[in-house]
Amino acid sequence: MTIKPFRLEPGMTIGLVTPASAPASRETINKGINKLQELGYKTKIARYALEKTGYLSGTDRQRLADLHAMFRDPKIHAILCMRGGYGTPRLLKDLDFALIKKNPKIFVGFSDITGLHIAINRKTGLATFHGPMLTSNIAQEKERDFALGGLLRMLSEPKPFGSILAGSGIKCGNTIRKGRATGQLIGGNLSLLVTHLGTPWDFSTKGKIVFIEEIGETNYRIDRMLTHLLNAGKLSDAAGIVLGHFTDCEEKPSGDGRPTQKNEEIFRELLGGLGIPVAGGFPFGHEALNATLPYGIKATLDATRGDLIIEEPAVK
């Protein structure tokens, strides 16, 4: 059973955390904070959120302490990740899922934050949100109305969001296999989905709408990770598959005649024959057009028309 968090309203406080890599410049952080405050929200930076330990934002213990403190604090109404990067899988074995389930709150992020989404969804049933982060989208002016506007509408209105394409300028996604299917949403960054296989936080795709995005992986690696998911029994039992941005994932011709393959060809070859609706080109992932997708919430993929519709409220 999905647990829905309480909705967000102006005047409420958003806690800012960095559970993976170190945050961007303080200037970028301040731009994002200023935008949220301009819209009427209060913000609170977690105690260790500005720390740096190598490529991580503080030690594992510090990043974990920040997450626990934000879920525990009754004055924090929503938790927003400042950025992704790397590091969330290192936290999972010590994450207090009982605390999170006892204090269900809005939790937002994408990329490496997929690690937390998948685990929290599996262990608590809390609906969390694959969506814009402070420095990646909210601090940036490009397409901010779509990314931030859509996020806040989903978090503040306890009613079905409808099409995630609304306001994106994208008329429809790209059909890979026609059809229409409804199911709960699950998914995220492809690398992180593969990372969870065989762990206590492994996930089910049976009967679900699976959404996938990626950044900075070459075509053969995309092929390898999708093949890994299929070999592990994932995807083929899904209700449908939605593909978002695959940013900087197209291998450039080498000039030496070495063969390559476009991602769309890989998608059609590996996913097109599963007998379920599949569509790509949707606006979520590592680009300015970054729609919010709620985990565990019912959605309909219309791969024939190229649309994804959120069918139920994600907050209460």
**pLDDT of 114-160, one tens digit each?**
999 999 999 999 999 999 999 999 999 999 999 999 999 999 999 99
Structure tokens at 7: 């909705």
- The reply to whether 191 belongs to the active site is no
**Catalytic choice (77, 117, 196, 286):** 286
How far apart CA 116 and CA 304 sit, in angstroms, is: 32
Assign domain 162-310 to its CATH architecture: 3-Layer(bba) Sandwich (3.50)
**Catalytic choice (77, 130, 168, 213):** 213
**pLDDT of 291-302, one tens digit each?**
999 999 999 999
Q: Which CATH superfamily includes the segment(s) 13-156?
A: Murein tetrapeptidase LD-carboxypeptidase, N-terminal domain (3.40.50.10740)
**Residue whose token pair is 């694959």:** 130
What ranges do the domains of the chain cover?
Answer: 13-156, 162-310
Per-residue pLDDT at 23? 84
Per-residue pLDDT at 254? 61
DSSP lists the bridge partners of residue 80 as: 16, 108
**Catalytic choice (21, 57, 77, 111):** 111
- List the chain residues with pLDDT less than 70: 253-258
- The reply to whether 136 belongs to the active site is no
- The reply to whether 111 belongs to the active site is yes
Per-residue pLDDT at 253? 65
Per-residue pLDDT at 256? 65
Q: Is the pTM of this model over 0.85?
A: yes
